[in-house]
Amino acid sequence: QALGAAGALPLEGLPDIRPILARSRAEGSVLDGAEMIQLVPVLDAGPKLRAYGRGVRETSPEVAAITDELPRLAELADRLRRALDASGAVTDDASPTLKRLRREIRDRRRQVAGELERAFQGGDADRIFADRYVTLRHGRYVLPVRTEARGRVRGIVHDRSQSGQTLFIEPEHVVDSNNDLVQATREEEHETARILAELTAAIRARLDDLEALVSAIGE
């Protein structure tokens, strides 16, 4: 009768989140963002189903009775949507600290890359550098220096090409800037891990309601 009065239930494209809920149950466990973002369409199904139930209450009171009892989890859904993008990556808006750190990292990357790119402006750049690009080795910005020109660039060798003809050197004048960038990157990773742990704890705190929602959808 409900199908005749209001059409299909709003349950398209819902993933089975029961394995994710089971993983979140262990104290201290941390879900990754790609797992947590799968909860959002299931959480959003609650309000849609309650609205559906209100629309068929007269013709199908027993359907409405099920939808009336669905747990209300809008706050958790909003929190996950605010902290994660569609792929599950943690967004800049997940915390003020994360936003600040990511802005700092972007600024420091531009600064270090800009300092290194100035080396390519010299008249003998072609004899010193194998290519005119700044690259990364072990999280540090370096220059591709011809092996025979090693003595022309003072700094730390982080790697060499497979042919052995290019050395990837961190010039000594950017060591401190690279250190600051590495430190900021570590802090960003720590903050991202903290946010994922906090979100997992929020899911764990509503686990009974989440499992009840899945059960009611199944019913």
pLDDT in tens, 59-71: 999 999 999 999 9
Strands ordered across the beta sheet of 135-137: 135-137, 140-146, 166-171, 155-160
Report, as an integer, the average pLDDT of 107-127: 93
Identify the three-state secondary structure at position 30. coil
Report, as an integer, the average pLDDT of 114-142: 92
* pTM, two decimal places: 0.86
**d(C-alpha 187, C-alpha 43), whole Å:** 32
Q: What does the pLDDT look like over 32-81, one tens digit per residue? A: 999 999 999 999 999 999 999 999 999 999 999 999 999 999 999 999 99
**d(C-alpha 163, C-alpha 144), whole Å:** 13
Q: What is the pLDDT of residue 33?
A: 97
**d(C-alpha 170, C-alpha 155), whole Å:** 5
Nearest to 2 by CA among 63, 44, 87, 85: 63
Tell the residue number behind the tokens 């029961």, with chain if given. 18
Q: What is the pLDDT of residue 13?
A: 84
**d(C-alpha 112, C-alpha 176), whole Å:** 10
**Which structure tokens are listed for 81?**
């949507």
**d(C-alpha 100, C-alpha 92), whole Å:** 8
Distances in whole angstroms, Cα of residue 134 to Cα of each of 45, 82, 84, 122: 48, 35, 31, 15
Report, as an integer, the average pLDDT of 73-96: 96
**d(C-alpha 147, C-alpha 187), whole Å:** 35
Q: What does pLDDT average to over the chain? A: 95
Q: What does the pLDDT look like over 145-176, one tens digit per residue? A: 999 999 999 999 999 999 999 999 999 999 99
Instruction: Report strand pairing: 155-160 vs 140-146.
Output: unpaired
Rg (CA), the chain: 27
At 195, is the pLDDT very low, low, confident or very high (cuts 50, 70, 90)? very high
Side chain identity, residue 176: D
